[in-house]
Amino acid sequence: MKFSARLALFLASLAGACSMAFAQQVPQPKLPTIDLQSGMYLIKAEVAGNYATRMVGMMMREKMASNEGMLFLFPEKEKQCMWMKNTLLPLSVAFIDENGVILNIEDMKPQTEDSHCSVKPSPYALEMNLGWFKQKGVKAGSKILGIEKAGKAQ
């Protein structure tokens, strides 16, 4: 396949994925989950491990149990940013390094397009209900256990 044909195919698939995220009207089905742990707290995390599931994330979900969250896996270890377009729940996001150590935590307001970014390159982001990390005493430098299982849950 010639470069121009590959580029056209790539751009078409990218446009489709982007339009899906922008036009998201219903929540995506529940994703595979893994058990994570922070201190004595168990987290049931859905794994958003590909482009399409990361783009939709928690959009249009109306509720999430107190110990549930969504773990985003990024293919490249680089600075990551999250936003809340079409997300109805207020969330907190922890950006996590390859060793499971939280780099920073950001609180995010629903239905906004504000960027919330990692302070350093990060292959993971964990979204929880707003204030979950603070309520549990989990902060930058805390460790999330079980993150190495994330790639197997896809």
Q: What is the pLDDT of residues 39-54, one digit of tens each?
A: 999 999 999 999 999 9
Question: What CATH number is given to the structural domain containing 99?
Answer: 2.60.120.1140
Which segments within the chain are labelled E, that is strand? 33-38, 41-48, 68-78, 81-82, 91-96, 102-108, 116-117, 122-129
Give bridge partners of residue 145 from the DSSP assignment: 37
How many domains does the structure of the chain reveal? Answer: 1
How far is Cα of residue 138 from the mean position of the Cα atoms in its chain? 18
How far apart CA 107 and CA 88 sit, in angstroms, is 14
pLDDT band at 26 (very low <50, low <70, confident <90, very high): confident
In percent, the amount of the chain with pLDDT more than 90 equals 69
pTM across the whole model: 0.82
How far apart CA 136 and CA 66 sit, in angstroms, is 11
Which residue range forms the structural domain that includes residue 41?
Answer: 3-153
